[in-house]
A and B are shown apart, each in its own frame.
Chain A
Amino acid sequence: MSASLEKGINALREQVDSTVATFFSSCVHCGMCADACLFYTETGDAERTPINKTEPLRRIWKYEYTLFGRILKLFGLAKPVDEKLLTDWETLVYDSCTMCGRCSMVCPVGIDIAGVIRKTREGMAAAGHAPKGLIGATQRAITIGSPMGVKLPALQAQIRHVEEDLGVKVPVDVEGADYMLLLSSMEIMNFPEFIGAVTRIFDKAGVSWTISSEAFEATNSGIQIGVSDLAAELVQRVVDAAEKLKVKTVISPECGHAYFAIRWDGPNLVGKPFGFKVRHILEVLDELRRDGRLKTSGFEEQKLTYHDPCQITRRGGVIDEPRNLIGMFSRNFVEMPEHGKMNWCCGAGGGVSSNERADDIRLKVFQRKKSQLDEIRPQAIISACSNCRIYLEDGLEEYNMEIPVLSLTETLAEHLED
Chain B
Amino acid sequence: MTEIEFLSWVRGPGFQIASIVLVAGIIIRIAEILLLGRAANLAEPKGSEMGNGIRTIFTRSIPDAGTFRKSSFTLVAGYIFHIGLFVTIFLFAPHILMFKDVVGFGWSSVPTPIVDAVTVVSIIALLAVLVHRLTNKVLRFLNNFEDLLVWFVTIAPLVTGYIAFHRIGYTAPALIGIHILSVEFLMVVFPFTKLMHAFTIFIARWYNGAISGFRGVES
Contact = CB atoms under 8 A, between A and B. Distances in A.
B147 interface: yes
A355 B22 CA distance: 48
Q: Which of B34, B192, B209, B212 has the most CB of A within 10 A?
A: B212
A313 B219 CA distance: 12
Contacts of B36: 16-18, 20-21, 65
A266 B197 contact: no
A379 interface: no
Contacts of A273: 42-44
B60 interface: yes
B205 A35 contact: no
B207 to A, nearest CB: 5
Nearest to A313: B217
A319 B217 contact: yes
Interface stretch (B25-33, B120-128, B162-170, B173-181): B25-33
Contact of A67 (B28, B78, B216): B28
Interface stretch (A84-92, A326-334, A336-344, A392-400): A336-344
Interface residue tally on A, bucketed by range: 35 or more
Residue among B29, B42, B197, B204 with the highest chain A CB neighbour number at 10 A: B204
Contacts of A166: none
A44 interface: yes
B66 interface: yes
Interface in A1-60: 16-23, 25-32, 34-36, 40, 44, 46-47, 49, 51-52
Given A52-B141, A65-B36, A112-B208, A317 B60 contact: no
B69 to A, nearest CB: 9
Contacts of B196: 25-26
Nearest to B33: A21
A21 B66 CA distance: 29
B215 A111 contact: no
B138 A110 contact: no
Interface string B1-35: 00000000000000000000000000011001111
B71 to A, nearest CB: 5
A274 B43 CA distance: 8
A267 B42 contact: yes
B205 A109 contact: yes
B149 to A, nearest CB: 12
Contacts of B211: 19, 112, 115
Contacts, number: 176
B147 A110 contact: no
A28 B44 contact: no
Contacts of B87: none
B90 to A, nearest CB: 21
B173 to A, nearest CB: 34
Given A23-B204, A264-B43, A18 B38 contact: yes
A30 B147 CA distance: 10
B83 interface: no
A110 B139 contact: no
A110 B56 contact: yes
Interface residues of B, number: 60
Given A25-B196, A68-B192, A110-B209, A18 B141 contact: no
Given A17-B36, A21-B33, A341-B218, A111 B204 contact: yes
A18 B37 contact: yes
Nearest to A16: B36
A108 B33 contact: no
B138 A109 contact: no
Interface stretch (A99-107, A127-135, A151-159, A182-190): A99-107
B42 A44 contact: no
B217 A341 contact: yes
A275 to B, nearest CB: 11
Interface in A62-117: 65-68, 104-112, 115
Given A29-B143, A44-B137, A109-B197, A19 B64 contact: no
Contact of B208 (A34, A66, A107, A338): A107
Contacts of A65: 32, 36
Interface in A261-283: 263-268, 271-274, 277-278
Given A17-B38, A21-B33, A272-B42, A32 B67 contact: yes
A274 B44 CA distance: 8
Contact of B219 (A26, A40, A46, A104): A104
Interface in A227-279: 263-268, 271-274, 277-278
A278 B32 CA distance: 36
B67 A26 contact: no
Interface in A337-362: 337-338, 341-342
8 contacts: A25-B194, A26-B196, A26-B200, A28-B194, A67-B32, A109-B204, A267-B44, A274-B44
